Amino acid sequence: MRGVAFNGRAGEGACPYMSIAEDSMRLAVRYFAVAIFLVGLPAWGGVRPRYGGMLRVAIAESLASLDPAEPDPVKSGDAVARAWVTPLLFDTLVRVDAEGRGHPRLAVAWQADRSYKRWQFWLRPRVKFWDGAPLAAEAVVASLSGRAEWKARADGEFVVIESEASRPGLLAELALARNAVMRRGPALVGTGPFLIKSFVAGKSLELAANDGSWGGRPFVDGVQIEFGKSLRDQIVAFQLGKVDLIEVGAEQIGKVESEGRKAQVSFPVELVAVVGGAANVREALSLAVDRKSIQSVLLRGGSEAAGGVLPEWMSGTGVLFPVQVDLEKGRQTLKAGQARAPAPTRAWTLSCDAGDGLARLLADRVALNAREVGLSVQVVSSGTADLHLERIPLGSADPGVALGEVGRAVGAKVAVGLSAPGEIYLAEKKLMDEGAVVPLFHLPLASLVGERVRGFSEDKLGGWGLEEDWVEGP
């Protein structure tokens, strides 16, 4: 058997119980912080953690359902909101960090066989759902069943996941929001640090601290989240002191920091791409778009130009996907395609999210650049279009799993079990071809917290650990 420990990837001979000591250390640090507060000693630079208060949050996306598996979180355009909200309510078996290392959540240890087709997970003891029911292997299996990718079953106190294909990246798959563990019924019931107090689909969500959370009670009494707030509205509410935590658009990071505020910024974890169109049109468009100029002027440096689906920090193969403008080659490519399949000259339509101001700016610039190679592109906000400008969260630090998430978003199949750099590179090229994807930029996720908030730190994948935050004042 191959053991996968808390602080590493799959490795020969690793002890399956190494994760418990590491996890206990994290909890010990948290309780030590509380102890410092109780005895009145200074902590975190003289600011002592305290219990109580409400944390107020505003985000642009909306959630119609809190079940991360329904509807499809990638295709419904709410994937970022789900990635933020789901961990507050529901736990996954494991968490995977930006370096691809697995960390315990509901599972404290795990093992895979040599083929990576059979995995076994040791569940954390004494975990309870919000209603007091103990977490058992059968409940985990019920939550993870119904997947085409694998079969889950209970083996005594263990959870076993088996698949026909080798899945060395299974930990990263299980860490995705849609694979969170919950009980489904008249109401969703989870094990997370917060429980649902009220939910108005598409508008608001109020959470209350889970006193019985296995990781310890959150410091704040609750979290209030407003959905569907534009970035501009978020900034105004933030300046008026009405919210404590907001998003910052990639194009706003430089401006925010120039005003003396410190934004929390992740690695580039969101792909901006044009999807659709014939192969020659896509190639001509890719050669026409001046990514570096757009990055500098419109995005103000808060992004990376993308020639491939995956960002350089994840794949290491970004140099193999050029982003240079070549107008002459673009014109030749377009003419060659038209010679092979003559068609009347027409204007191509390019759609984007009508409520996304940045997407509209980028679409307009893509249409302007396209004219330089002889492509007439008209930007539309709705209806059927030839091309689509999409923002696709990569979802994982594992390159194979991230490619799979993009594939799901564009309707293209990506092989599982990818791990070697050569495999990733070939799969990336295939996805761009079969999924009709023209990568343009990789954007980070960024957040801004108010003066009342203490302890906030956005992780490198853009996640929020709000259970570790506390607020000063009412």
> Exposed/middle/buried for 174, CB within 10 Å: 0-12, 13-18, 19+?
buried
- What are the distances in angstroms from CA 281 to CA 20, 183, 261, 300, 474? 54, 47, 42, 28, 57
pLDDT at 21 over 60: no
pLDDT at 25 over 70: no
Q: What integer pLDDT is reported at residue 6 of this predicted model?
A: 41
Number of neighbouring beta carbons within 10 Å of residue 347: 11
pLDDT at 362 over 90: yes
Nearest to 442 by CA among 255, 268, 294: 268
Picking from 16-20, 26-30, 210-214, which range would have the lowest pLDDT averaged per residue? 16-20
Q: What integer pLDDT is reported at residue 75 of this predicted model?
A: 55
pLDDT at 10 over 80: no
Q: What integer pLDDT is reported at residue 2 of this predicted model?
A: 45
Question: Which amino acid belongs to residue 50?
Answer: R
Q: What integer pLDDT is reported at residue 302 of this predicted model?
A: 78
Rounded CA-CA distance 192/208 in Å is: 11
Q: What integer pLDDT is reported at residue 49 of this predicted model?
A: 85
Q: What is the DSSP string of 98-146?
A: TT--EEESSEEEEEE-TTSSEEEEEEPTT-B-TTSPBP-HHHHHHHHTT
Picking from 149-163, 299-313, 337-351, which range would have the lowest pLDDT averaged per residue? 337-351
Q: What integer pLDDT is reported at residue 29 of this predicted model?
A: 46
Q: Give tens-digit pLDDT for 425-445.
A: 999 999 999 999 999 999 999
Q: What is the DSSP string of 319-342?
A: GGS-----HHHHHHHHHHHHHHS-
- pTM for this one? 0.88
Q: What integer pLDDT is reported at residue 41 of this predicted model?
A: 41
| The pair of three-digit structure tokens given for residue 131, joined into one six-digit string | 């209603």
| The pair of three-digit structure tokens given for residue 132, joined into one six-digit string | 């007091």
DSSP 472: S
| The pair of three-digit structure tokens given for residue 285, joined into one six-digit string | 């468009």
Rounded CA-CA distance 303/441 in Å is: 7
Over residues 339-346, mean pLDDT: 60
Q: What integer pLDDT is reported at residue 301 of this predicted model?
A: 73
Over residues 290-306, mean pLDDT: 90
pLDDT at 226 over 90: yes
Q: What integer pLDDT is reported at residue 44 of this predicted model?
A: 44
Which pairs with CB-CB distance under 8 Å and at least 24 residues apart come from 358-364?
Answer: 358/249, 358/250, 358/251, 358/298, 359/272, 359/389, 359/391, 361/251, 361/298, 362/272, 362/294, 362/298, 362/389, 362/440, 362/441, 363/389
pLDDT at 43 over 80: no
Q: Give tens-digit pLDDT for 166-206.
A: 999 999 999 999 999 999 989 999 999 999 999 999 999 99
Rounded CA-CA distance 36/39 in Å is: 5
H or E element at residue 432: helix 421-434
3-state helix, strand, coil in the chain (%, to 5): 30, 25, 45
**What percentage of the chain carries pLDDT values higher than 70?**
86
User: Tokens 């933030």 appear where?
Assistant: 238
Interhelix angle 357-370/279-288, nearest 10 degrees? 100
DSSP 189: B
Mean pLDDT score across all residues of the chain = 87
Number of neighbouring beta carbons within 10 Å of residue 112: 21
SS3 222: strand
Q: What integer pLDDT is reported at residue 327 of this predicted model?
A: 96
Over residues 409-432, mean pLDDT: 93
| The pair of three-digit structure tokens given for residue 138, joined into one six-digit string | 């059968």
Q: Are strands 245-248 and 54-58 parallel, antiparallel or unpaired?
A: parallel
Question: Which amino acid belongs to residue 218?
Answer: P
Of residues 179 and 342, the one with the higher pLDDT is: 179
Greatest distance between any 2 Cα atoms in the chain: 80
Nearest to 454 by CA among 53, 84, 47: 47
DSSP 18: H
Q: What integer pLDDT is reported at residue 458 of this predicted model?
A: 79
Rounded CA-CA distance 166/379 in Å is: 43
Is the bond into 344 cis (omega within 30 degrees of 0)? no
Question: Which amino acid belongs to residue 461?
Answer: L
Rounded CA-CA distance 35/74 in Å is: 42
Beta bridge partners of 393: 270
Q: What integer pLDDT is reported at residue 74 of this predicted model?
A: 54
Which domains are delineated in the chain? 1-48+91-185 (3.40.190.10), 50-90+192-244+450-474 (3.40.190.10), 266-444 (3.10.105.10)
Rounded CA-CA distance 72/417 in Å is: 22
